[in-house]
Amino acid sequence: MAGTPATAPNGTDRASGGVQSVERAFQLLEALADSGGIATLSELSTTSGLPMPTIHRLVRTLVQQGYVRQDTARRYTLGPRLIRLGETSGRLLGSWARPYLAELMEATGETANLAVLEGGEVVYVGQVQSRRSMRMFTEVGRRVQPHCTGVGKALLAQLPEQEARALLGPAPLQAHTPYTATEPQALLEQLAVARESGFVVDDQEQEIGVRCIAVAVPGAPTPTALSVSGPEARIRALETQEGSAALVPVMSRVAAKLGQVLAP
């Protein structure tokens, strides 16, 4: 007869071989992250679907270990001990991605970048630079605003529209060049087009003379995007090539292969 899988006294799910309490602890951390990094116990119960006694027990343990903190308003936030894990994971992500970024650089001749969305900002976690004397360079670990970069818009396009709208806010966005889209609604329209086309363009929106094409990395556990950036004329030339050498198909193939590696 079908039913709920039995759980051993030590918390091990007999059917899956997983430890239920560990799975639920990570479920709570994910729910807390999805809530913007701060939530009450009742909100965590609603978003995670876990019973309140379980939440109390797990949160108490996570607080003791430093992975969760309680503020003065009795809300819970992601704790500082997660920072080291995130930084290490980010460095490893760049290492895992390097062969794929190198493949993309070799195929295009231009700098290949990898970025993730963290706290409403774009974080560059990997890069393989072009061999050309005139090339683009972005320091790994650099944080930038998402609305004016190719990878940033590719990351925003992976979010539900309401989440992207909330992240951008209602106020005009910062202009970095005369080409930067500063109206949130105009940017949301760009994101809708990007979801249909599968790629996004930064046409001198972050820096004059620089063009960037970006695509999402499908299957990655967190919004992830890769891009090719370089002088505007060279990138436009790549975009107009015909056949299998066209830029976006090459990028999409590399992104798909990287996504398979990163998929949980």
- Note whether 230 and 237 are within 8 A (CB): no
Delimit the domains of the chain by residue range: 20-79, 83-262
Q: Which residue has the tokens 């479920």?
A: 27
3-state secondary structure 74-117: CCEEECCHHHHHHHHHHHHHHHHHHHHHHHHHHHHCCEEEEEEE
- Note whether 149 and 229 are within 8 A (CB): no
Q: Which residue has the tokens 């992500």?
A: 93
Strand partners, 215: 226
What is the C-alpha radius of gyration for the chain, rounded to an integer number of angstroms?
Answer: 21
Helices (H) then strands (E): counts for the chain: 9, 9
The structural architecture, per CATH, of the domain 83-262 is: 2-Layer Sandwich (3.30)
Classify domain 20-79 at the CATH topology level. Arc Repressor Mutant, subunit A (1.10.10)
The whole-number mean pLDDT for each consecutive block of 10 residues of the chain, a chain of 264 residues, reads: 43 52 84 80 85 88 86 81 68 80 94 90 91 81 91 94 90 94 94 93 94 94 92 88 68 94 79
Cα separation of 169 and 146, whole Å?
Answer: 12
Helices 232-239, 247-262: axis angle to 10 degrees equals 90
Helix, strand, coil tally for the chain in percent (to 5): 45, 20, 35
Residue 35: predicted pLDDT: 75
Residue 88: predicted pLDDT: 65
